[in-house]
Amino acid sequence: MSVKRGNLRADTVVKNYWRSNEQFADFFNAVLFDGEQVIKPDELIPVITIVVYYGEKSWDGAASLHEMLNIPKTMESFVNDYKMHLVEARKNDLKLHNINNQDLFNLLEIILDKSAKWNVIREKAINYARKHEVEKSVIMTVAGAANCKMDYNMMEKKGDADMCTVFEETRKEGVAQGLAEGEAKGIIETGYEFGLSEDDILTRLQKKLNISLQKAQEYLSMFGKQTVQSGQFLLRRRKPTEKMVYICKNRRP
């Protein structure tokens, strides 16, 4: 099946992976029929929903319709209680036959294990991918499911991308993002110190960082409240011959 390539994002990469009928059918057979090959890749009927949870912690949300709707006990007998087919990527006992699916969930179990140190996780994931010669599409899906911050378009074009590439690009992206966020925070704090309006601060963010209005708003939402909450402010109305007084005393946590 041909997949339309555009601006690749983490969620797009994961969706593209599950477009494969072979991988999709194998996964459903593992969840619903204990690995028995009941559903054929060329006979898929889209009538069953399975939720794949890619979180690091155990699922603690609703797992049935009754739990989702919080139905009173007196009404429960009148409403069918549909159970959710939930799969936790971090830990499961699926009987998968498709090699890509096996590699996908084995790598996710390694990546999402937050009880281990990061350098141990990195080494295990890289060694597994090299030993099993994991396909690039699987590696990209692992990165997307784990919401790794990286350039997926670059990785798509790269011929020899592996788990080492994922960790390196994630590190680079993290450093770049940290620098951008630090600069944005400084612009926002300075703006508040000089009494600029939020519109003016947004304009400065866009010009200084060469970013969109939406991204500037994200930074303002992220750091604006921190700036206001970290200081004490005193503003008073100006008289014709008086400058506005602005006092900000930073509190250290």
- Looking at residue 126, its pLDDT comes to 87
- C-alpha span between 171 and 44 (Å, rounded): 39
- pTM given for the model: 0.57
- pLDDT tens-digit readout, 155-202: 777 766 667 767 666 655 555 566 677 888 888 888 887 778 888 889
Reported as a pLDDT band with limits 50, 70 and 90, residue 223 is confident
- Give the mean pLDDT of 240-249: 38
Residue 225 amino acid letter: K
Tell me the backbone φ, ψ of residue 159, rounded to 5 degrees. -75, -35
Measure Cα distances from 69 to 52, 61, 65, 85 in Å. 21, 12, 6, 17
Single out the residue of 178, 180, 189, 228 nearest to residue 208, CA to CA: 180
Comparison of pLDDT for 117 and 179, the residue scoring more: 117
- pLDDT tens-digit readout, 36-63: 988 888 877 666 778 888 888 888 888 8
Work out the percent of the chain whose per-residue pLDDT is above 90.
12
Phi-psi group of 71: left, alpha or beta (phi > 0 → left; psi -120 to 50 → alpha; rest → beta): beta
> Using H for helix, E for strand and C for coil, what is the string for 147-197?
CCCCCHHHHHHCCCCCHHHHHHHHHHHHHHHHHHHHHHHHHHHHHHHCCCC
Reported as a pLDDT band with limits 50, 70 and 90, residue 117 is confident
- C-alpha span between 137 and 12 (Å, rounded): 12
